[in-house]
């Protein structure tokens, strides 16, 4: 069994490495995802009308109690 495993490991080590999907397109996919992420969050932060005051003091007023 050990010789078979060793033989397989040697065969794999000598085999020529063929580029797979990640070798070919990995960086392109990563950059594309980063660009989409930046564009979407850039739009959200600039166009969504979010008010950036973090303190709720003076903004939250209690509603009148309904019976």
Q: What are phi and psi of 34, to 5 degrees?
A: -65, -40
Q: 0.75 exceeded by the pTM?
A: no
Total domain count, the chain:
1
Query: Given this model, what pLDDT does residue 38 score?
Result: 97
Q: Identify whether 40 is part of a domain.
A: yes
The CATH number given to whatever domain includes residue 25 is 4.10.51.10
- Whether 16 shows a pLDDT value over 90: the answer reads no
Give the separation between CA 28 and CA 34, rounded to whole angstroms.
Answer: 10
Query: Given this model, what pLDDT does residue 12 score?
Result: 63
Q: Identify whether 65 is part of a domain.
A: no
Query: Given this model, what pLDDT does residue 56 score?
Result: 66
* Residue 42, domain extent: 1-46
> 19-66, pLDDT tens digit by residue?
888 889 999 999 999 999 999 999 888 887 766 666 666 666 777 877
Rounded to 5 degrees, what angle do the CA atoms 22, 28, 33 make? 105
Q: Identify whether 25 is part of a domain.
A: yes
Q: Identify whether 9 is part of a domain.
A: yes
């Amino acid at each position: 069994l050990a010789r078979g495993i060793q033989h397989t490991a040697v065969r794999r080590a000598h085999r020529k490495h063929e580029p797979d999907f990640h070798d070919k397109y990995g960086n392109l996919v990563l950059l594309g995802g980063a660009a989409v992420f930046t564009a979407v969050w850039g739009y959200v932060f600039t166009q969504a009308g979010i008010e950036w005051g973090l303190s709720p003091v003076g903004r939250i007023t209690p509603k009148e109690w309904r019976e």
